[in-house]
Chains A and B, each alone.
Chain A
């Protein structure tokens, strides 16, 4: 069980949250002109990182706000939690590899 530190409500159990996949993927601006292949690239081709992964979570049972999490997919350790629309903090990765 993960304990996730919601940036708004504080630390809560994982069961209160829902997962939203990879963070910082920008929706194409001229979507009406995209080819099927480019759409597929945007919708399906996410990275499958071993190590520190930047991902989205939503506090479904709490404040219902989206935010970003930096999590190590090997150790499951959560390294940082930061608000949507902000840049990820600089992480000292050596400690956690």
Chain B
């Protein structure tokens, strides 16, 4: 893990904090970066009760077993990535989850990998968020298909991403993208959202 004082967000050259406003006003799309999240990639057998209970006691919630679903644990978002694969996401100031998971799962046939340093998170919300994302992705973002509280992996403007739709009435997405694609994707979304009006928040 990188020393905190050496950390630099992959979007730092865009100087987003200098553009941040406190009120989004009538902007159709609100964007912000949520950098430095801890992401732990967890793999294990969903048919194993020992695995599920150890994961639950560490994460504070059941692992979501339904495809494309997410769950909220203790200080943690849990995203379903595959039939035996999940992401546990927490903020940087929470205690490291990976070590706790490794301890809880020791002796079991599982895999716990820190993945957070390779990604950043772009948050896109607002009444026109879905129209914006639909320009670059083949997923159906309608409420009836991509409900609040679900997640999906796909391509956004040809960059591989993980979408997490947050709970709430206004469409609100967190898009996890690899650091090397982050600036490209931010500029792409900002260009796509231009016609709706954009506000950047901190």
Contact = CB atoms under 8 A, between A and B. Distances in A.
Q: How would you classify the secondary structure of chain B's contact residues: helix, strand, loop or mixed?
A: strand
Nearest to A65: B82
Interface string B93-105: 0000000000000
Contact of A63 (B85, B139, B160): B85
Contacts of A76: none
B138 A13 contact: yes
A16 B68 CA distance: 15
A16 B160 CA distance: 9
Contacts, number: 33
B81 A63 contact: yes
Contacts of B152: 9, 62
B92 to A, nearest CB: 27
Interface in B154-168: 154-155, 160
Interface string B68-84: 10000000000001110
Interface residues of A, number: 12
Nearest to A9: B67
B153 interface: yes
B43 to A, nearest CB: 11
Interface string A52-63: 000000000111
B83 A63 contact: yes
A65 B80 CA distance: 14
19 contacts: A9-B67, A9-B68, A9-B152, A10-B68, A12-B139, A12-B154, A15-B138, A15-B155, A16-B155, A61-B153, A61-B160, A62-B152, A62-B153, A62-B154, A63-B81, A63-B85, A63-B153, A65-B82, A65-B83
Given A9-B153, A12-B154, A15-B138, 18 more contacts: A8-B67, A8-B83, A9-B67, A9-B68, A9-B152, A10-B67, A12-B139, A15-B155, A16-B138, A16-B154, A16-B155, A61-B153, A61-B154, A61-B155, A61-B160, A62-B152, A63-B85, A64-B82
